[in-house]
Amino acid sequence: MDSRAGALDATIINHMTAHEYLAQRLDGARDLYLLALAVGERGSGPGPLGPMIQEARIHFENVLAESRMAGLDTTDISTMLAKHSRELADNIRPEIWDRLGELVAERGRTKRRA
């Protein structure tokens, strides 16, 4: 990581309350897990994406437990995770879908040129 980015992260974190910081981490961990599930498939077993999904889930569960211990309300997240895999994709923020679409399109253009 570039030292300027690290300094910026530290500055942002210093201006947040602990609850705000945990809420931000929880949102990020949730987004990462949902994206992993959307790219792979929940319960798909040991395929090429299995380890990625498992690691995203472990990270998310740890941040979720930390958030609950700190008193954050995680009811909405529990409800969301009870949904089927197809419905979970609807919970991914549109800007993340947009960026993923850009990456896939860029990869397609790069592969065709090679």
Q: Whole-prediction pTM value?
A: 0.67
**What is the residue-averaged pLDDT of the chain?**
78
Q: 29: which 2 tokens? A: 């961990």
- Whether the pLDDT of residue 6 is over 60: the answer is no
Using 50, 70 and 90 to split pLDDT, how confident is the model at 62?
A: very high
Q: Whole-angstrom Cα distance, residue 4 to residue 15?
A: 17
Using 50, 70 and 90 to split pLDDT, how confident is the model at 1?
A: very low
- Host H or E run for residue 43: none
pLDDT in tens, 35-46: 888 887 656 566
Tell me what the mean pLDDT of segment 74-83 comes to: 78
- Whether the pLDDT of residue 28 is over 50: the answer is yes
- Alpha helix (H) ranges present in 3-93? 3-14, 18-39, 50-69, 75-81, 85-88
Which segment, 1-5, 30-34, 79-83, is predicted with the most confidence on average? 30-34
